[in-house]
Amino acid sequence: MQADPERYELHHQDETHLETNPYLGRVWHRKGIQPVVPAAGTNRRVTVFGSVEVFGRGRVEVVCAGQDSASFARYLVALDARHEALRKEIYLVLDNGPCHRSKVSQANLKQREDWLHVVWLSRYSPELNNKEREWRYLKRDTRSHLARTLRAFVDEVTAGLGRLGGERCDLVDEVPQWFIDGHRHAPTGRKPGRPIGAKDAKPRASKRQNLEAAT
Structural domain contains residue 141: yes
> Per-residue pLDDT for 206 more than 80?
no
pLDDT tens-digit map of 59-78? 999 999 999 999 999 999 99
**Contact (Cβ atoms closer than 8 angstroms) between residue 113 and residue 119:** no
* Residue 51, domain member (yes or no): yes
Q: Which amino acid is at 64?
A: C
Which domain does 110 fall in, by range?
8-23+42-180
Binned at pLDDT 50, 70 and 90, residue 39 comes out as confident
Task: Name beta bridge partners: 9.
Answer: 90
Is the overall model pTM greater than 0.75, yes or no? yes
CATH number at residue 84: 3.30.420.10
Residue 32 lies in a domain: no
Residue 195 located in a structural domain: no
pLDDT at 61 (0 to 100) = 97
Give the C-alpha separation, 215 to 212, whole Å.
Answer: 9
**Structural domain contains residue 191:** no
Tens of pLDDT along 128-161? 999 998 998 898 888 887 888 999 999 999 999 9
* pLDDT, tens only, 175-191: 999 999 988 888 888 77
Residue 48 counted as domain residue: yes
96 found inside a domain: yes
Decide if 202 is inside a domain. Answer: no
Split into its structural domains, the chain has a count of 1
pLDDT given for residue 47 in this prediction: 96
